[in-house]
Structure 1
Amino acid sequence: MPDELPHPTPEQMDIGSIFAALADPIRRRVVLALAARPNEIRDCSSFDLPVTKATRTHHFRVLRESGLLRQVDLGNSRTNQLRIKELEKRFPGLITLILAEAGKIDGKKG
Structure 2
Amino acid sequence: MGTSGRSGAAVTTAPAPTSRDLPHPVREEIRLEGVLHALSDPMRLRIVRELAAGHAELSCSQFDLPVTKSTTTHHFRVLRESGVIRQIYRGTAKMNGLRRDDLEELFPGLLDCLLTAAARQAARQAARHGDG
1:7 aligns with 24
Instruction: Tell me the secondary structure at the aligned position of residue 113 of structure 2.
Output: helix
Q: CA deviation at 1:22?
A: 0.6
Q: Does residue 71 of the first structure (1) align with residue 87 of the second (2)?
A: yes
Q: TM-score, normalised by structure 1?
A: 0.88
Q: Does residue 104 of the first structure (1) align with residue 95 of the second (2)?
A: no
Number of aligned residue pairs: give it: 107
1:26 aligns with 43
RMSD of the TM alignment (CA)?
1.8
Superposed structure 1 runs of 4+ greater than 6 Å apart: none
Q: Does residue 82 of the first structure (1) align with residue 98 of the second (2)?
A: yes
Q: CA deviation at 1:100?
A: 1.3
Pair member with larger Rg: 2
Q: CA deviation at 1:75?
A: 6.1
Give the residue type in structure 2 aligned to 1:29. R
CA distance in 2, matches of 1:107, 1:46: 23
Q: State the identity as a percent.
A: 47
CA distance in 1, matches of 2:109, 2:28: 17
Report 1:16-55 matches (<5 A): 16-38=33-55, 40-55=56-71
Maintained 8 Å contact 1:35/1:95: no
Instruction: Tell me the secondary structure at the aligned position of residue 48 of structure 1.
Output: coil
Maintained 8 Å contact 1:21/1:66: yes
CA distance in 2, matches of 1:60, 1:80: 8
Unaligned runs of 5+ in 1: none
Give the number of the structure with larger relative contact order, counting CA–CA contacts within 8 Å between residues 6 or more apart: 1
Q: CA deviation at 1:104?
A: 1.9
